[in-house]
Amino acid sequence: MSIAIIGAGIAGLSAARELADAGQSVQLFDKSRGSGGRMASKRSEAGSLDLGAQYFTARDRRFAAAVHHWQNLGWVAEWLPRLYQADQHGLSPSLDEQQRWIGTPRMSALTRGLLGELPATFGCRITEVFRGEQHWSLLDADGGSHGPFDQVVVATPAPQASTLLSSAPTLAAIAAGVLMEPTWAVALGFDEPLDSEVDGCFVKEGALSWFARNRSKPGREQALDTWALHASSAWSRRNLDLSKDQVAEQLRGAFAELIGCPVPAARFSLAHRWLYARPAQSHEWSALADTDLGLYACGDWCLSGRVEGAWLSGQEAARRLLDNL
């Protein structure tokens, strides 16, 4: 079987690994320059920055087993942050018993590990997935054509998946009905470490939803003291078209009000807009499939909207495909 997988985020790679391990021939396609999607790490003059997923939890038994395997391979490590929360009463410690994981030395190490030597074409945005008499073909944004393939797995965020699933109108309609919320993310780098105990902070109201100190995570060695700030969905939606400079300035201001120590001018600042950051609600589809056609869809939007959900969804797409061979 030759199987095309569109999207090399954690969902697509989860499916790809499972299928390759079962002896199938897979070919990944991704519009970005590398793997990882929303788990990618951005290279910058301040070092590698985790601007998307900050950490992940493992509540499902199968995912927890996979995480321990990755830990043994050195791809992930446990993060033990001094956690805080910020609410109407201000900033307060908010420790808990939850185990949290990160890719090491950067978030993208996990997806790079999963990718390994799997065949992948990057910088290739697939615009159309169509079925001929017996096989599938893919068209890309540069007019290139790829195929033939026996089966196709679409592993992109739902709004991008709906057009790629048009050969299976029922699946396309389900994906089209998923609302995904944006998130503005900002990285700030300071010459001198901020005089703060906070490693990570859940913000319960206002412009921000989260901020974290990069160097509190294992394996991050950076000259600057870099911080990741995430705006809330509501703020991101309201300010979707603000310029990057304005977003960086406004979120820096919100951060300075919360962190409880002097915040000097940042030496480094970068803003990134995630248009499809998270599904507005969780679903329980696991994965979508038209087994007669040989067309499958997976991604965080099929489950919990988290790294764990994305990985489980990829596993489920692969399982259904293999069951149908």
User: Are 238 and 206 contacting, i.e. CB atoms less than 8 angstroms apart?
Assistant: no
3-state secondary structure at position 191: coil
Q: Distance between CA 164 and CA 177 in Å, rounded?
A: 14
With the C-alpha atoms ordered 149, 154, 156, 159, is the resulting torsion angle positive or negative? positive
Taking each continuous run of H as one helix and of E as one strand, the counts in the chain are 8, 20
Candidate list 15, 126, 152, 168; residue touching ligand FAD; CB under 6 A:
126
> What is the total residue count of the chain?
325
Q: Which does 31 bind (CB under 5 to 8 A by kind): ligand NAI, ligand FAD, none?
A: ligand FAD
Any known ligand binding at 58? yes
Q: Does 305 bind ligand FAD (CB under 6 A)?
A: yes
User: Are 76 and 68 contacting, i.e. CB atoms less than 8 angstroms apart?
Assistant: no
User: Are 21 and 325 contacting, i.e. CB atoms less than 8 angstroms apart?
Assistant: no
Spell out the residues 6+ positions from residue 21 whose beta carbon is closer than 8 angstroms to its own: none
Any known ligand binding at 38? yes
Q: Does 85 bind ligand NAI (CB under 6 A)?
A: yes
Q: Does 216 bind ligand NAI (CB under 6 A)?
A: no
- Nearer to ligand NAI among residue 182 and residue 294 (C-beta): 182
Q: Which helix (H) or strand (E) holds 100?
A: strand 100-103
- Nearer to ligand FAD among residue 30 and residue 225 (C-beta): 30
Candidate list 24, 48, 156, 250; residue touching ligand FAD; CB under 6 A:
156
Residue 292, both tokens: 């007669």
Residue whose structure tokens are 């033990």: 80
Looking at the DSSP assignment, which residues form a beta bridge with residue 6?
29, 154
Q: Does 182 bind ligand FAD (CB under 6 A)?
A: no
DSSP letter string over 192-215?
Answer: SPPS---SEEEE-SSSEEEEEEGG
Any known ligand binding at 287? no
Q: Distance between CA 189 and CA 226 in Å, rounded?
A: 4
Burial zone of 22 (CB within 10 Å; 0-12 exposed, 13-18 middle, 19+ buried): middle
Instruction: Please give the single-letter amino acid code of residue 80.
Output: L
Candidate list 108, 183, 214, 315; residue touching ligand NAI; CB under 6 A:
183
Q: Does 227 bind ligand FAD (CB under 6 A)?
A: no
Q: Does 94 bind ligand NAI (CB under 6 A)?
A: yes
User: Are 83 and 201 contacting, i.e. CB atoms less than 8 angstroms apart?
Assistant: yes
Q: Distance between CA 220 and CA 239 in Å, rounded?
A: 31
Of residues 41 through 70, those in contact with ligand NAI by CB under 6 A are 56-57
Candidate list 27, 160, 162, 226; residue touching ligand FAD; CB under 6 A:
160
Q: Does 31 bind ligand FAD (CB under 6 A)?
A: yes
In the bound complex, what is the minimum distance in angstroms from residue 210's beta carbon to ligand NAI?
Answer: 6
In the bound complex, what is the minimum distance in angstroms from residue 64's beta carbon to ligand NAI?
Answer: 12
Candidate list 3, 4, 5, 7; residue touching ligand FAD; CB under 6 A:
7
Q: Does 112 bind ligand FAD (CB under 6 A)?
A: no
Candidate list 10, 168, 186, 254; residue touching ligand FAD; CB under 6 A:
10
Candidate list 27, 183, 214, 315; residue touching ligand FAD; CB under 6 A:
183
Please report, as ranges, the residues that interact with ligand NAI according to CB under 6 A: 56-57, 83, 85, 94, 96, 98, 183, 202, 230, 277-278, 305-306
For ligand FAD, the binding residues (CB under 6 A) are 6-12, 29-32, 37-39, 52-56, 125-126, 155-157, 160, 183, 185, 230, 274, 277-278, 299-300, 305-307, 310
* Residues in the annotated binding site: 11, 30-31, 38, 54-59, 126, 183, 300, 306-307
